[in-house]
Structure 1
Amino acid sequence: MTATALDAPTQGTRPPTLEMRGISKTFPGTKALSNVQLKAWGGEIQSLMGENGAGKSTLMKVLSGAYHADAGGQILIDGQVVDITNPHVAREHGISIIYQELSLLPNLSVAENIYFGREPSKGGMIDRRTMKESCRGVLQRLGATFGPETIVATLSIAERQLVEIARALHAQSKILVMDEPTTTLSSRETDRLFALMRQLRDEGLAIIYISHRMAEVYELSDRVSVLRDGTYVGTLDKDDISAEKLVKMMVGRDLSTFYKHDHEAKAGRARGQPMLAVEGVTDGGKRVHPSSFTLYAGEVLGLAGLVGSGRTELARLIYGADHRTAGTIRIDGKEVTIRTPKDGLDAGITYLTEDRKHQGLFLDMSVKDNVNFSVIGRDARGGGVLNLRKAVERAKSSIADLKIRVASASIGVGTLSGGNQQKVLLARWLEAKPKVMILDEPTRGVDIGAKAEIYRIIDQLAQNGVAVLVISSELPEIMGICDRILVMREGHIEGEVGGTSGVPVTQEAIMALATGVQL
């Protein structure tokens, strides 16, 4: 099938379970969607891809009834035009959407969440016995290890996702939308989720899967549709899916150029003097055993390892976010005392957290205020009067330099896409003029276009002599942008690949160190 085809020949004459025709959506000053098409059949997993800001979330909010499309568009369920005016109507038509930010009520039980808003009654009272028995069946079908009376707050993220799926199945949904469901899951939890999705597909559900992760899309998709800048680009069948085609559809350029700038920049980088020397840093062995390494000016050093290996915990000890029980830290040859993040910042270290929403950004504040948060006092005039004009200029400059897609610096940062939020957080730490920058999962949850821009920023930092430490779970990424890579396992730095180690930079070498399995 070509990238512009809309029909799936294997479906024959059977109408799609879901069809969205000519969907447009306009906000004041912004055309978010323009004549977008989408089809999904029962018994298939249809992936939806595109950069952040491409229109995926807006399209799904139109499907859910949270947004009303502009006049002229149509939504059809099993070939019949339906008018979805609100989320309740969407549920009545068998549409369930599981968002990245789960919508469960943590203080209620599993059964109360599954039945929320449609509780059965008996004698004027809620029939809790019926609720429990009915929910028990759907939980067993999904292989849940918890029961209907379990309080949701006690469940893991993966288990809470299972409750969301159980709620959709219990409501007899025929269309299930999953928005970035693996972002906070371990590899094992992700494998279990994928097995469940295949089971539901085989049972006849139409599943729409939204993800930025290419490997997941290859593994799961029967078809992939792509949006770019609010428009429909095309659809690929399973046999036609490739990274090269998808990247070109999403960003309009070939995959061959994706790491090109990074390799060229690496070749031209000259390592300077030791900038960060870590010696025996530990939290007493709870998460991090005594760890030592040196990071040089103008170098991009990778820190790899499986989830739980201690990568983030080591970074937080260096920055002062967590308590260090032993070890020394030297910046530019001088020992520094770091007990708090302010100490870390004063020493010339900035730390971009992996959890930008809860530990990095102030979502209810503007882009301007977020960019200036750590440095606005630097421009204060006599008497402590803040220089607001300088703050506006700094924010505007950051928006231009980092290509942040935002209409104005006064826009709330919580309204931005993930990639643009990440660039706002990067802008804040760039303004601090760091000697050492620690980037923890810098491209998590961002699209390919934003990733390329973040890679460019990392290269530029190194070219300017900043010492950069990058933590990433994506092996192609960490191999593509780093000069050498340290690998952690169970709180220890197990070894190094690249650089002067004599060990070639390969995924096999990294995984051997990360798992303790000898090649």
Structure 2
Amino acid sequence: MSQQPLITLDRVSKTFGPVTVISDVTVNVYAGKVQVLLGENGAGKSTLIKMMAGVHQPDGGSILVDGRAVTLPGTRAAEALGIATIHQELNLVGTMSVAENVMLGRMPKKYGLVDRKELRRQARAALALIGLDVDVDTPVGELGIARQQLVEIAKALSINARILILDEPTAALTRHETESLFRVIEDLRSHGVGMLFISHHLDEIAEIGDSVTVLRDGEFVAEVPASTPEDELVRLMVGRSIDEQFPRRAGSDADLPDSLPLPGANSNGDAGVLQVTSLSSKGKFQDISFTVRPGEILGIAGLVGAGRTELVRAIAGADKYDSGSVTVRGRALPAGNVGAAVAAGIGHVPEDRKVQGLVLDASVNENLGYATLKSTARLGLADFSGQRSRAESVARTLRIRMHDIEQPIRSLSGGNQQKAVFGRWILAGSTVLLLDEPTRGVDVGAKVEIYELMNQITAAGGAIVMVSSELPEVLGMSDRILVMRDGALAGELNAAEATQDAVMTLAARDTDEVN
């Protein structure tokens, strides 16, 4: 194969107002190769791929395709050159069918009308590339996040791209689904497709990548082989070594900053701060009972479709349930009432932060304050000045990287957006946090910061229920683990006895992936 790159970002730079997000960075993507782009949230990865996709134009430097300088004024110009992008933020229309989403903007026509038969045929062919077996007439909004991600991938592959940009494509996938995607990538590699791959799962890099470009604070740090040890990749990314991947410390062992307005214990010895009794919702979960004590992290593991997210949403008041009860410090909560749950001290960090956890066009300040506008009001009027002061304090403590508290939260990196969702519930003084995939799409440095924050919350007497598709995370950060299977509790393990094999034995009998 030719040694000339398919596409090059040659010493590109980009600024937004007074902030320089990319400075003099070069990245090459070669035919038949997978170039991994690695860096913390906020390092500039998304800005770089948006330059390749025609979303942003560089302020300095140039873009070369097949060695020729090009201008990419929009996404259609990029697609015309064979550049397809799978963005971290899913670009799907929930009310439209799977087939319509896969072929969006490229609907086959017959006699001036959409040819539904051909539409379905082309969509099925695209889905077959990644082994996704779903009814193409199903509204995409009815699919779970993992399957929506696969539809997005099929959509990108359907344009026969020769340069494929994959931004966190495995973030919502099971191990089995990831392996299916990697088989597709290997097939594309053998056909000369060049790929730029972004992932926060360091264990995937050696498996799928050829070489790695490392960024830090918008600047090029190094280009190294994909076989580089993980601890060295972490050091290059964050500028320091991270000694402990899962720093679980309970009680007084956690480092608790005085400036963080964390909840008090409000407990009676070992009494449960959260009690769930015989909770059932038809078709989702049945007869779920457990207690969470102050200072405890309760992990919930299981396979896709086990009912974990549905259970957490019901406890948070986001969805109604048919029977059973949820009690916080002895106070029974009404079903399907988010306001009552928040007032009782429950905070919910949802699975999909962009859709369910944030108002993307609102400011960082507004997003931090949504849970406390009513409780901090004076004479019925919102305390905007006090809210801003409190938001700035929490943002500093959580090290949310931003240039201004009033900037739109959509402009923050994924990890900083996630910390803002945490910050909202810290401001609200929540004593129970329900965390659904708390570190999905978050880099290793930000993950450790979130884990430390969880330690601080439990050290102050708070309780955490954590759903995670990453089994090492569940094992590393939980004091006890509940395992769900087919909407029911399959068993409980304490931290001392919990292993991947033990969890898998409870989670499934005929499958080998946990999610």
- Give the TM bin, normalised by the shorter chain: 0.7 to 0.9
Aligned partner (choices 300, 305, 317) of residue 302 of structure 2: 305
- CA pair 284-76 structure 1, distance change in 2 beyond 3 A: closer
Query: Which residue number corresponds to residue 424 of structure 2?
Result: 428
1:37-436 alignment, distance < 5 Å: 37-71=26-60, 73-103=61-91, 107=96, 110=99, 114=103, 116=105, 135=122, 139=126, 142=129, 153=140, 157-158=148-149, 160-169=151-160, 173-238=161-226, 240-259=227-246, 262-265=247-250, 268=253, 272-332=269-329, 334-339=330-335, 340-382=337-379, 384-436=380-432
- Root-mean-square deviation (Å): 3.4
- CA pair 221-133 structure 1, distance change in 2 beyond 3 A: same
Mapped to 2, the partners of 1:108 and 1:490 lie a distance apart of 26
Compare 96-105 and 141-150 and name the one that shifted more. 141-150
Q: List per-residue Cα deviations over 1:409-455 (Å, max 9, x = no partner).
A: 21112222111111111111111212222211111112222212111
Query: Which residue number corresponds to residue 7 of structure 1?
Result: none
1:456-471 alignment, distance < 5 Å: 456-471=452-467
Secondary structure class of the residue paired with 2:243:
helix
Mapped to 2, the partners of 1:367 and 1:165 lie a distance apart of 32
Mapped to 1, the partners of 2:225 and 2:412 lie a distance apart of 31
Mapped to 2, the partners of 1:422 and 1:267 lie a distance apart of 25
Aligned length: 494
Compare 342-351 and 55-64 and name the one that shifted more. 342-351
- CA pair 89-364 structure 1, distance change in 2 beyond 3 A: closer
Secondary structure class of the residue paired with 2:11:
strand
Deviation at 1:38, TM superposition (A): 0.9
Mapped to 1, the partners of 2:278 and 2:223 lie a distance apart of 51
Mapped to 2, the partners of 1:494 and 1:112 lie a distance apart of 37
Mapped to 2, the partners of 1:480 and 1:117 lie a distance apart of 46
Query: Which residue number corresponds to residue 28 of structure 1?
Result: 17
- CA pair 80-119 structure 1, distance change in 2 beyond 3 A: farther
- CA pair 130-363 structure 1, distance change in 2 beyond 3 A: closer
Query: Which residue number corresponds to residue 259 of structure 2?
Result: none
Compare 245-254 and 215-224 and name the one that shifted more. 215-224
Mapped to 1, the partners of 2:348 and 2:139 lie a distance apart of 32
The answer as to whether partners of 2:172 and 2:440 remain within 8 angstroms in 1 is no
Mapped to 1, the partners of 2:510 and 2:221 lie a distance apart of 44
Mapped to 2, the partners of 1:254 and 1:438 lie a distance apart of 30
The answer as to whether partners of 2:129 and 2:154 remain within 8 angstroms in 1 is no
Task: Please say which structure displays the higher CA radius of gyration.
Answer: 1
- CA pair 93-121 structure 1, distance change in 2 beyond 3 A: farther
- Structure 2: gaps spanning 5 or more residues: 255-264
Query: Which residue number corresponds to residue 454 of structure 1?
Result: 450
Q: Pick the structure with more helix per residue.
A: 1
Identity %: 36
Secondary structure class of the residue paired with 1:281:
strand
Q: List per-residue Cα deviations over 1:367-408 (Å, max 9, x = no partner).
A: 1122111212223223x1222211111111111111111122
Secondary structure class of the residue paired with 1:215:
helix
- CA pair 498-175 structure 1, distance change in 2 beyond 3 A: same
Compare 356-365 and 21-30 and name the one that shifted more. 356-365
Mapped to 1, the partners of 2:412 and 2:108 lie a distance apart of 36
Deviation at 1:111, TM superposition (A): 8.0
- CA pair 494-246 structure 1, distance change in 2 beyond 3 A: same
Deviation at 1:460, TM superposition (A): 0.5
Deviation at 1:307, TM superposition (A): 1.9
Mapped to 2, the partners of 1:485 and 1:148 lie a distance apart of 35
- CA pair 396-91 structure 1, distance change in 2 beyond 3 A: same
- Structure 1: gaps spanning 5 or more residues: 1-10
Residue 96 of structure 1 aligns to which amino acid in structure 2?
A
